[in-house]
Homo-oligomer: A and B are copies of this chain.
């Protein structure tokens, strides 16, 4: 286990040095000095090799993704990312693997001014647990529970591409060669909607990040808010690559149930609709209105203005 002491070196040479970190890596605990009039948002996500990413995923992508999936949770709360702890379990000491993993991890940390404040390195089957913390001004967090009947349902970005990439890696679909790289980038290097989340604090009535698939995650909002929703399938933001590869029907299915999108799903009242759309457009954040909340307490879908029944994985979470 002597090599595991060396590993610590990989994590102490970081660029980010936040003023609110009183003590970083190297003691029994890290110490932070939390700012006044802010709440701290805390989230934890584990990535297990072969479960949350294919076993042959590049270490740089694993490093990126282990931070990104947590930042996506912070974004869904409207929090500004601040500190992360990393619990890294590795089967063996591999210097090149660690160098690339750290490159992916610190690239994202530096971009968002996040400091790695501690963690644990252990020997075992490859698994990464990150606990990320962020700041939210008091009384303005985005929650899952605030959606009201009549609110409009929005998503950022496009849906289903990451799930398509996974199908490609599992040899379940054939993708045109020029499409492979952009699609794999969507799966391996998701961009958490950190800025969008912070903007939405002022406008959205509820929010969640899309990790399990649209229907499943919308189900959480419906359940927490005690309302239902109708999704207009014609409106779903689908990439040309997704539709060209799978055809419209299967493309919609992936967009509804694929997971791994790490976009934000949120609801906005009629009164806030125009203001929100303007501010997000000015910030360069792509977004699409995909439906409306209602009092039904279930999730329905329409296409060409006709009700259409869907049967997707994840729907059971809600029913």
Contacts and interface: CB of A to CB of B under 8 A. Distances in A.
A6 to B, nearest CB: 11
A5 interface: yes
A145 B141 CA distance: 38
A284 interface: no
A127 interface: yes
Contact of A118 (B36, B42, B87, B136): B42
Contacts of A45: 87, 120
Contacts of A303: none
A120 B124 contact: no
A208 interface: yes
Contacts of A49: 124
Contacts of A306: none
Interface stretch (A24-32, A97-105, A181-189, A285-293): A24-32
Contacts of A86: 44
Interface of A: 2, 5, 22-23, 26-34, 36, 39-46, 48-52, 73-74, 76-77, 79, 83, 85-87, 89, 117-120, 122-125, 127, 129, 131, 133-134, 136, 138, 141, 143-145, 207-209, 224, 316-317
Given A29-B77, A127-B127, 14 more contacts: A23-B143, A26-B224, A28-B73, A29-B76, A31-B77, A31-B136, A31-B141, A33-B138, A44-B87, A44-B119, A46-B129, A48-B123, A120-B129, A125-B125
30 contacts: A5-B317, A26-B224, A27-B144, A27-B224, A28-B76, A28-B77, A28-B209, A29-B41, A29-B43, A29-B74, A29-B76, A29-B77, A31-B39, A31-B41, A31-B42, A31-B136, A32-B42, A34-B39, A40-B40, A42-B85, A42-B117, A42-B118, A42-B133, A44-B118, A44-B120, A45-B87, A46-B129, A48-B125, A89-B127, A124-B125
